[in-house]
A = this chain, B = another copy of it.
Amino acid sequence: MTDVPVYQKIKREMLARIQAGEWKPGEVIPGEQALSESFGCARVTVNRALRELAEQGLVERKRKAGTIVAQRHARAESFTITLVKDEVESRGSEYGYRLLDRRIEKPNASIAQRLNIGTAKKALHVRCLHFADGRPFQLEDRWINLDVVPKAKTEPFDVEGPNGWLVERVPYTDAEHVLSAVNATAEDADLLGIEAGDALFRIERRTWLQSGVVTTVSLSHPGRDFRLQSRST
């Protein structure tokens, strides 16, 4: 009963103080030193509690300035984005894959900008479909920067999607994700076996290796089959 870790107790206590209005948004709260004394524990323990609250977006920390209660009531929620194959199989469905096209071509201005290369430069463009029990589950439209991943040049991607291939072979240091809802174009609908205009849940991802963009991809899922879920405490 009482073997809840000390740093968690402290987190709860501090949460309670924030919610009780004892510590107001924008206000500086006592320093780690002072808190550790009042809680009767080591400073590192208070530090961990505060660090986790900061990760969750409830407080903001700055050296010298101290820790302040976050102005905006925002909490960071964590969603797990899995590889399609795992996602499909975790639902108990059979995974399927089909390559649509694979071309080395010049990207348009928008894609070139996303890849951070010139429009004169060619890149690898792959489009493919992922199935769950034979039903289209995800439409993948990907561009790969051949400067960063030259070995992709000779990879046919006919039996394995570029997603898994990249994950297993190319490391990345940074990632960006954008989630959105869009209406399916006629082409999207045709490929996904749905009606034009149906809602799509789209995940756009870009990954970097140091300062170079590795790949940028758009993953579209029929809205009725896809959702992202998170649960936090």
**Which A residues form the contact surface with B (CB < 8 A)?**
15-16, 19, 57, 72-83, 86, 90, 164, 167-168, 171, 173-183, 197-202, 221, 223-224, 226-233
Contacts and interface: CB of A to CB of B under 8 A. Distances in A.
Contact of A86 (B72, B86, B183, B221): B72
Copies of this subunit: 2
B82 A73 contact: yes
A164 B227 contact: no
Contacts of A78: 76-79
Contacts of A221: 181
18 contacts: A16-B171, A72-B90, A73-B83, A75-B175, A76-B78, A76-B79, A77-B78, A77-B79, A77-B80, A77-B175, A174-B232, A176-B230, A176-B232, A177-B230, A178-B227, A180-B223, A180-B228, A197-B197
A229 B74 contact: no
Contacts of A75: 80-81, 175
Nearest to A220: B181
B77 A72 contact: no
A29 to B, nearest CB: 17
Q: Of A77, A90, A181, A200, which is in contact with the most chain B CB atoms at under 10 Å from its CB?
A: A181
Given A180-B226, A183-B198, A77 B81 contact: yes
Contacts of A83: 72-74
A177 B229 contact: yes
